[in-house]
Chains A and B, each alone.
Chain A
Amino acid sequence: MSKIIPEFIVKKNEDKCINCKVCVRQCSEEVYKYFEDFDLIRIYDDKCVGCHRCDLMCPTDALTITKNNSQYKENSHWDNYTIKSIKKQAETGGMILTGSGNDKPYTSYWDRILLDASQVTNPAIDPIREPMELRTYLGKKSDKLSIKEENGEIFLETELSPQLKIETPIMFSAMSYGSISLNTCESLASAASKLGTFYNTGEGGLHKKLYKYGKNTIGQVASGRFGVHTDYLNACAAIEIKIGQGAKPGIGGHLPGEKVTVEISQTRMMPPGTDAISPAPHHDIYSIEDLKQLIALIKEATDYEKPVLVKIAAVHNSAAIASGIARAGADVIVIDGFRGGTGAAPSVIRDNTGIPIEVALAVIDQRLRDESIRNDVSIVAAGGIRSSADAVKAIALGADAVYIGTAALVAMGCTLCQKCYKGKCNWGLTTQDPVLTRRLNPAIGSQNLVNLVNSWSLEIKEIIGSMGINAIEALRGNRYRLRGIGLSDVESDILGIEHAGM
């Protein structure tokens, strides 16, 4: 028997329904079907993915999507998700795919870390009255600066490494054109340019329409090398070599052929309609030395003017890898934690692989300090940053800045239904269907992103002000301003923070 108990029940309140059929027209999963002969909207609960497009669009709030109470017998070991997965696999013989980030109830260390605030002896600062500095420079910092004086004028003798200037320590993480729609890319790009920060092309290349945002673009070079060419490298402000992704460490990418439209194929430089497969490893990088060569290659190709970022998934030996990356000449290390999102990944990988970003960040920062190379690189933390508080905690744990991906999608409409891999995103984000992509108007998407980052920035100023700090720089790696709650000794040790009360 192939039927699986529906996850959701869709209820239509007939007292409120005006039969306008907006639900019928909006649901890409075809939960609703209108039968003209009977003047009836028929509902198919089993197709519902719980994205809430319909009830949010319904002008009379006549729809409610609820969890189906009819479930398999409760069993704390064999839970419903497990039973359904087994049934699905028994039928299809395939891997179970999922989208978005790991949603399993692992410990969230963000929620076990509390912030310090100033009282009496070190006065707090009121961000409304006093200037607060969130501007951050990403890149290798010089150990010392030598200055020369000539004819009364002062010159900097030291040659500085290329830096990325961001007005707030928040950037938009890599999401490729292909996994997300062009309108979504444009929303991110235009928001980044308005905010004075960066967005990232993912492995999707740079669509012609987006070249104008190049100054705020980080171009990714990943294992498939899609869309990488000289113009691309030079159009972007920085280049990110992607080794791994938090949601699927050790797994490559796979954009099915049906999503490879003509425009995507042109942007990615591949035949339309063919699968875009990014291998699990870079086949020219089997060692730190190989990585060093690619970094050098990119630097050479871009005249040593652009910082090179290297992104890895947070895994057990991240600290050692990070040390290698720093020594290989990267300007920025990006660490992507296990809560990071994805357009598509096998559920078994997403839910079971990788480690929390909080832990990885703490150990990497510590390792680089121990080796006295922390100033050679900047660190960007990614993967499940949900709020300004998470961002502040990440910075205090040692990050220079954070990447947000899922939060950015949510700002643009995403409701975390986790069905990105189906390509039918009702919010027009993770789809290439021309009927659906128009649902995101970049003017609105971009404004929402600007608003989100602006409000987080205000909150960050408020938080650091409460700590008596007036520049975000002064918080970086300042773990003394963090305390753990409900952490074991080992956890506290690894995070490098004391327990509340200490």
Chain B
Amino acid sequence: MKRRVMCNEDFCIGCRLCEVHCNVKHSKSGDIILAYKYEEEREPSRMAFEEKDYVCGSIVCMNCKDPLCVKACSMGAIEIKEGTVAIDDERCVGCWMCVMVCPFGAIKRGDKKAFKCDHCHDMETPVCVLNCPNKALVYEVD
């Protein structure tokens, strides 16, 4: 099984709602207003939204066939679980070797630990894809 969130950049409208919904999904309450206005700590979005001139798009972990991050992790804390590249929070020490090798820049640096898209593993379709108003984000499961 392989999961991939693709951004069709022709139709990315740069609204960044994917980031908003990603934040909400990974907040404590799961409610957009509570998450943004009342929860004290909110982890940054797991998406990497980028733009250049007319082109923009969201980058999330692409679940590479042969992930470089898995091989570069100095703690062996990254593995492929059910088709998703997953970082073991307990073991990550924030050495950023994964950040150094990810060809998409999809792994982000948290306070002390690396984090990335978890493909909303408890849902059938990730929230960014569900909430993309122009269906620029497409979820592919093989």
- Cα–Cα distance between A502 and B58 once the two chains are bound (Å): 64
Task: Judge whether A25 is part of the interface by a CB distance below 8 angstroms.
Answer: yes
With both beta carbons as reference points, the residue of chain A lying nearest to B21 in the complex is identified as A59
> Which of B11, B32, B134 is the one whose CB lies under 8 Å from A59?
B32
- Cα–Cα distance between A292 and B20 once the two chains are bound (Å): 61
Q: Which of A5-30 contact B (CB under 8 A)?
A: 16, 18-22, 25-26
> Which of A428, A434, A444 is the one whose CB lies under 8 Å from B54?
A434
User: What is the size, in residues, of chain B's interface with A at 8 Å between Cβ atoms?
Assistant: 21
Task: Judge whether B64 is part of the interface by a CB distance below 8 angstroms.
Answer: no
* 0 or 1 for each of A419-437: is its CB under 8 Å from B? (1 = yes): 0000000001000001100
Task: Judge whether A60 is part of the interface by a CB distance below 8 angstroms.
Answer: yes
Main DSSP-derived SS at the B contact region: loop
- Cα–Cα distance between A57 and B14 once the two chains are bound (Å): 12
> Which of A18, A21, A22, A444 is the one whose CB lies under 8 Å from B37?
A18
Task: Judge whether A293 is part of the interface by a CB distance below 8 angstroms.
Answer: no
Task: Judge whether B71 is part of the interface by a CB distance below 8 angstroms.
Answer: no
Residues of A within 8 A of B134 (CB): 438-441, 444
Contact: B33 with A435, CB < 8 Å? no
Contact: B33 with A20, CB < 8 Å? no
Task: Judge whether A443 is part of the interface by a CB distance below 8 angstroms.
Answer: yes
Residues of B within 8 A of A26 (CB): 13, 15
Which size class do A's interface residues fall under? 20 to 34
Q: Answer whether A57 and B133 are a contact pair too, CB < 8 Å, given A20-B16, A438-B11.
A: yes
Residues of A within 8 A of B16 (CB): 20-22, 25
Q: Which of B1-50 contact A (CB under 8 A)?
A: 8, 10-17, 20-21, 32-33, 36-37
Known: A18-B20, A18-B32, A57-B15. 12 other contacts (CB 8 A): A18-B37, A20-B20, A21-B16, A22-B16, A22-B20, A59-B20, A59-B21, A428-B13, A438-B11, A438-B134, A439-B13, A441-B11
Q: Interface of B with A (CB < 8 Å)? A: 8, 10-17, 20-21, 32-33, 36-37, 54, 131, 133-136
Q: Please name 8 pairs of A and B residues whose Cβ atoms are closer than 8 Å in the assembled complex, sorted by A.
A: A18-B33, A57-B17, A59-B32, A434-B54, A438-B10, A439-B134, A444-B134, A444-B135
